[in-house]
Structure 1
Amino acid sequence: MNEEIIIAGFGGQGVLSMGKILAYSGVMQDMEVSWMPSYGPEMRGGTANVTVILSDSRISSPILKMYDTAIILNQQSMDKFEKYLKPGGLLLYDGNGITRHPERKDINVFRVDAAEEASKMQSSKTFNMIVLGAYLKIRPIVSMENVMNGLKKSLPERHHHMLPLNKAAIERGLEIVQEVQVVG
């Protein structure tokens, strides 16, 4: 098993922390892991992406040109990364703010309306966990137990009271993700 993932969006959407939680989860399952963030100098609103590789065997390089999975959280990321998905790959996106939906027919496309759902949960901070839950529904490569352990490890202890809310957000993402048929 080798899963090469790009998670991309704006700063402030939890892109890097989602990648870190996936990476910690992989480590806890004795996988080989690479986590490589990339972000602009802005704290919020700038572009941010992270490459995560989870593998059963050694990872030769964290630098990727093509991905198995793209988790896309804004239009700029859709425009930039859709073309770098391997044929047969997975594109998961949040529909909020997307004006040009995925166009490729040689990939599997899923949508999760995580921003809308986070608003319903009255906690914008759960956005990335809803997206993570949607991803894990499609590709359950790490267990929920390890995701929660990864979340606990990546959250400062003063935020551990939010673990139940984050778990609920992950579970909600599992429920609301939908496959999209690309037409055209």
Structure 2
Amino acid sequence: MKEEIIIAGFGGQGVLSMGKILAYSGLMEGKEVTWMPSYGPEQRGGTANVTVILSDQRISSPILNSYDAVIVLNQQSLDRFESKVKPGGVLIYDSYGIHTPPKRTDIKVYKVDATEASFEMKNAKSFNMIVLGAYLKVRPVVTIENVLKGLKKSLPERHWGLIPMNEEALKKGMSLVTT
């Protein structure tokens, strides 16, 4: 098993955190992992993306030109990365702020209303975990149990009280996707 993923959006949407949590989750499952963030000097409001590779075998290079899964959180990222999904791959996008939806027919496309769901949960910070939950429903590359362990590893101890809310957000994201 090898899954090559890119997550892209504006800084402040939890893009890098989502990638880090996925990477830690893969480590918890004994997988080989790479995590390669990329963001502009603007951080909040600028564009950010992170490439994550999870594999049962050694990873030769973290540099990729195409991906098994692309998760985009804004129009700019959709425009940039839609063409980078491998044929037969997966594109997941949050519908909020998307004016031109994906057009490709050789990939599986999943629209997730994560922004709306985070408003329903009365917690805007749950957004990225809702998106991650949707991705894990479509591509169960790691278990929720290991995502929660990865979350605990990436959060400072003073924020561990947020883990139940994050678990709820993951499950909400899973419920938003029909496979």
In the superposition, the TM-score normalised over structure 1's length comes to 0.96
Distance in 1 between residues matched to 2:81 and 2:178, nearest whole Å: 20
Flag structure 1 segments of 5+ consecutive residues without an equivalent: 180-184
1:1-184 counterparts in 2 under 5 A?
1-178=1-178
**C-alpha deviation, 1:45, in angstroms:** 0.5
Distance in 2 between residues matched to 1:127 and 1:167, nearest whole Å: 12
RMSD: 0.8
Flag structure 2 segments of 5+ consecutive residues without an equivalent: none
Distance in 1 between residues matched to 2:30 and 2:2, nearest whole Å: 13
Distance in 1 between residues matched to 2:177 and 2:127, nearest whole Å: 13
Q: What are the superposed Cα offsets for residues 88-113 of structure 1, whole Å, 9 maximum, x if unpaired?
A: 01000000000010000000001111
Distance in 1 between residues matched to 2:104 and 2:42, nearest whole Å: 31
Distance in 2 between residues matched to 1:100 and 1:156, nearest whole Å: 38
Distance in 2 between residues matched to 1:9 and 1:15, nearest whole Å: 6
Q: What are the superposed Cα offsets for residues 75-130 of structure 1, whole Å, 9 maximum, x if unpaired?
A: 00000000011100100000000001000000000111101100111110000000
Give the match's secondary structure for 1:92: strand
1:182 corresponds to: none
Identity of aligned residues (%): 66
Distance in 1 between residues matched to 2:97 and 2:114, nearest whole Å: 12
Aligned length: 179
Distance in 2 between residues matched to 1:91 and 1:70, nearest whole Å: 5
Distance in 1 between residues matched to 2:47 and 2:27, nearest whole Å: 27
8 Å CA contact 1:111–1:178 kept in 2: the answer is no
Counterpart residue identity of residue 150, structure 1: G
**C-alpha deviation, 1:178, in angstroms:** 4.2
**C-alpha deviation, 1:36, in angstroms:** 0.1
Distance in 2 between residues matched to 1:31 and 1:24, nearest whole Å: 10
Distance in 1 between residues matched to 2:104 and 2:178, nearest whole Å: 17
Distance in 1 between residues matched to 2:23 and 2:167, nearest whole Å: 17
Give the match's secondary structure for 1:70: strand
In the superposition, the TM-score normalised over structure 2's length comes to 0.98
